[in-house]
Structure 1
Amino acid sequence: MLMRTRPGPAVEPHRHGMSQWRLIWRRFRRHKLAMAGLIITLAFYFVALFAEFLAPYGTDYLDDDYPYAPPQTIRFSGGLHVDGYKTTVDDETYEQTFTTDPSAEVPVGFFVKGDEYRLFGLIPWDRHLIGPEEPGAPMFLLGADRNGHDLLSELIHGTRVSMTIGLVGVVVAFVLGVTLGGISGYVGGRTDTAIQRVVEFFMSLPHLPLWLGLAAALPPDWGPLTRYFAITVVLAMIGWTHLAREVRGRFLALRQEEFVTAARLDGCSRGRVIFRHLLPSTSSHLIAQLSLSIPAMILAETALSFLGLGLQAPVVSWGVLLQDAQNIRVLSSAPWLMLPGLAVVTAVLALNFAGDGLRDAADPYRK
């Protein structure tokens, strides 16, 4: 009597000959939101890399004749130009307001000559992607702040600081969390007990008062960017505890598996078992944690700078730019000052979508 068997799952052609990283990339490309998040994230870092060239003005440029000037519209009629401004003065309060005036055209060009800078910090150059053809002519595509700074230029320069300043802290916290958590979970015994007591001590420290104490204790002659970088690194060295706890739990569950026992019987050292066998088995979880740590650092910088505890002017970051958005009366007349908040939301969502896609693609149990 013939037995009817159920057909197994279809195997994709050429899949068995692909490397692990190619399989991860193959699964990642199917995640539409993850691909969109990756493209947006790469676009942010592209802007950060070429900030001086992409920004119409440098960070020191301001035109105090146009405080809170509204955004201009680019038009094309016989040439590229933006609308000029018309000034109105209130007879009672003498408050000066600006409105766009289509009759006063300001010519705009590409690769125009402007403020001098060093591309990548090395190459002296003075060309900008877009800017007014007449030096000193007002061009504020996204409006101006209270001092007459171009908001578009400030946003572009702030992208470099907000998207990169926390990366070193994330790497430090990630390395400490994975290493100490892995040792604690795999070795166990007194080593596990000692590491967990250290973890509990660091977890009991309140981060906001510690941030305030570090900000007051650092040398006053350090620049604002150096001070924030130092505080970020110090806080990263005590912020590895949650990752260490999670890695420890994963290793406790995996160290009794057959492939770990086989590696030990084959004579593998503890370090080889941890880094060659256990860590790859938790790669999807580690990727998710790493992808979530970067937007968390961006949000921390934005929140602390917004409250005046992080970066301070003249350093330009998204959090520093949002300090002008604390006044409701100002926002009612200049709502474009909230645009740095939109940049923060977009960057955080893009990083989260890309991280979710990487986690799913690296999970060996997902098809």
Structure 2
Amino acid sequence: MTVSLPPSGAPLNHYVSTAPFDPHSVEAMTAGQAKIFQASQLRLMWWKFKKHRVALASGIFLLVLYMMIVIAEFLAPYNLHTRNMDFIHAPPQRVRLFHEGQLVGPFVYGRTMTLDMDTLRRVYADDKTNVQRLRFFCSGDPYKFWGIWEASTHLVCPAKDGEFFALGTDRLGRDVLSRIIYGARISLTIGLIGIAVSFTLGIVIGGIAGYHGGVIDLVVQRIIEVLQSIPSIPLWMALAAIMPVSWSPILVYLGITVILGLLDWTGLARAVRSKLLALREEDYVLAAQLMGAKSSRIIGRHLVPGFMSHLIASATITIPGMILGETALSFLGLGLRPPITSWGILLTEARSVSVIAFYPWLLYPMIPVILVILAFNFLGDGLRDAADPYK
């Protein structure tokens, strides 16, 4: 190691500062260090989250899905209730680009149907002389956009006097793809509404128990233990079964969301309680108490924001459970009822083994359920790692 000495006659303090070195001083940092030092907590979380490639891809996938449900009527090739009686239990049609070696564009072949007299099943075959080109941004089945505005524009439509069933049809000749798109609106939003109920109860009850402690904490913990000891699905079934049959589909939808929210707040309440038990001993909490702040203000304005990142990560893990809960209830016939359509209701078409054996495409609504559950879990893992200050 070599040390450069100042020229003869030059003062030493010209080269060396007599002020003590402050490692936290921005001037003493490189540009990259200063950028990290001055960044907010949300920006630091975003930088860490971007490194989790699977979680980032899952977040983009879920964002696209939630944007799609806003325009579900436009994306679906058919209206939700359109029946094609000539194509009952028709298998999926393959979209093709080339016909006899020539580029035709996206098209499907027409269908011919014969009845198998031995099994009484409809047998469909492609008619390769009937080329039906798909139309885009076209006029098709009329619908009410969000039940308000009359419209008939679709992203893709079958050819004039043709048919297009990318995922086949059900027992009433309804397009499975269109019903999956419509069902996404219910299945995806029921988790958001349910998590709002769950978070409100979890933060309020868990916050009161953790901040005050004592008898209140003891009572809350015993209630949580009793609720968590009851199996979830039988409890869901019991509460769903007591809803009056005369209720409208909208009231049933709201009732299911409230039930899912009421039964899912216990885990969050325990997490909030444990955090507040540790944070309530901090100096800033004592300062707020000495200044006369109420308990609700201390919890809501000072304590809860301190672990909001943890709550966000918990939400992304809780939502899939609510989606699965609604799917299970609807599949068992105790959840939503037609004319409301969800992925669980669509899966009721595939209850028997014989139906699955003959018409396996009726299980396709299970695919978006699996993908959404996996995406939410990957997203939750990424958010949890990004929110952890020790990683």
Identify which of 231, 239, 258 aligns with 2:256.
231
Query: Does residue 1:102 correspond to 2:123, yes or no?
Result: no
Mapped partners of 1:93, 1:291: distance in 2? 47
Indicate conservation of the 8 Å contact 1:283/1:363, yes or no.
no
1:124 aligns to 2:150 (yes or no): yes
Tell me the CA shift for residue 262 of structure 1.
5.2
- Relative distance call for 1:102 and 1:12 in structure 2 (3 A) is farther
Q: Which residue of 1 aligns with 2:91?
A: 70
Residues 23-82 of structure 1 deviation map (CA, whole Å, 9 limit, x = unaligned): 222222221111101111011112211100000011110112112211112223435421
| CA 1:79–1:194: 2 relative to 1, 3 Å | closer
Equivalence for 1:219: 244
TM-score (norm: length of structure 1): 0.88
- The range that moved more, 23-32 or 218-227, is 218-227
Query: Partners in 1 of 2:294 and 2:287 — Cα distance?
Result: 12
1:231-272: CA deviation from partner (whole Å, max 9, x where unpaired): 331442343122212221222233334554455456654334
Give how far 1:298 is off: 0.6
Are residue 134 (structure 1) and residue 134 (structure 2) matched?
A: no
Tell me how far 1:364 sits from its aligned partner.
2.7
RMSD: 2.5
Q: CA deviation at 1:315?
A: 2.2
Decide whether aligned partners of structure 1 residues 68 and 359 sit closer, same or farther in structure 2, where only a CA change above 3 A counts.
Answer: same
Please state if 1:14 is matched with 2:39: no
Give, in whole Å, the separation in 1 of the partners of 2:93 and 2:232: 42
Query: Would you say the 8 A contact 1:284–1:360 is kept in 2?
Result: no
1:300 is matched with 325
Q: Secondary structure at the match of 2:386?
A: helix
1:59 corresponds to 2:58: no
Quick one: structure 1 residues 298 and 216, their matched pair in 2 at CA, closer, same or farther if it must change by over 3 Å?
closer
With normalisation by structure 2, the TM-score equals: 0.83
Q: Does 1:348 find its partner at 2:373?
A: yes
C-alpha distance in 2, partners of 1:225/1:268? Answer: 41
How far the C-alpha of 1:209 sits from its partner, in A, is: 4.3
In structure 1, how many angstroms separate the alpha carbons of the residues matched to 2:351 and 2:241?
A: 24
Of 296, 304, 312, the residue aligned with 1:271 is 296
Which residue is equivalent to 2:15? none
Poorly superposed stretches of 4+, deviation over 6 Å:
7-10
- Secondary structure in 1 matching 2:364: helix
Residue 15 of structure 1: SS of its match in structure 2? helix
> Cα 1:218–1:326, aligned 2, differ >3 Å: closer, same or farther?
closer
Partner in structure 2 of residue 47 of structure 1: 68
User: Which structure's CA Rg is the greater one?
Assistant: 2
**Residue 55 (structure 2) aligns with:** 34
Where do 5+ consecutive residues of structure 2 fail to align?
1-22, 98-102
Separation (CA, whole Å) in 1 of partners of 2:159 and 2:109: 14
Q: How many Å separate the matches in 1 of 2:361 and 2:233?
A: 30
Per-residue deviation, 1:116: 1.8
Residue 318 of structure 1: aligned partner: 343
Larger deviation, residues 204-213 vs 300-309: 204-213
1:149 pairs with one of 154, 174, 181? 174
Q: Give the CA deviation at 1:299.
A: 0.6
Provide the rounded CA distance (Å) in 2 between the counterparts of 1:127 and 1:291. Answer: 34
- Structure 2 contact 260–322 (Cα < 8 Å) conserved: no
Secondary structure of the equivalent of 1:348? helix
Where do 5+ consecutive residues of structure 1 fail to align?
1-6
Task: Return the offset for 1:125.
Answer: 1.3
Determine if contact 1:155/1:318 at 8 Å carries over to the other structure. yes
How far apart, CA to CA, are the structure 2 residues paired with 1:78 and 1:198? 66
State the match for 1:4 in structure 2.
none
Q: Does 1:82 align with 2:108?
A: yes
1:283 aligns with 2:317: no
